[in-house]
Amino acid sequence: MSDGEFSLNLEPDYCCGGGHCGPLPGYTFQCPSCGKPSGCRTGQALQPGEFLTCFLCKRRMRMVRELAEFHLVFEYAD
* pLDDT tens digits for range 14-47: 877 666 666 778 899 999 999 999 999 888 899 9
d(CA 78, CA 19): 31
d(CA 21, CA 63): 21
Q: Per residue, what are the HEC states of 26-47?
A: EEEEECCCCCCEEEEECCCCCC
* pLDDT tens digits for range 1-14: 667 999 999 999 88
Per domain, the residue ranges of the chain are 5-76
Q: Tell me: pLDDT of 53 over 70.
A: yes
What is the reported pTM?
0.85
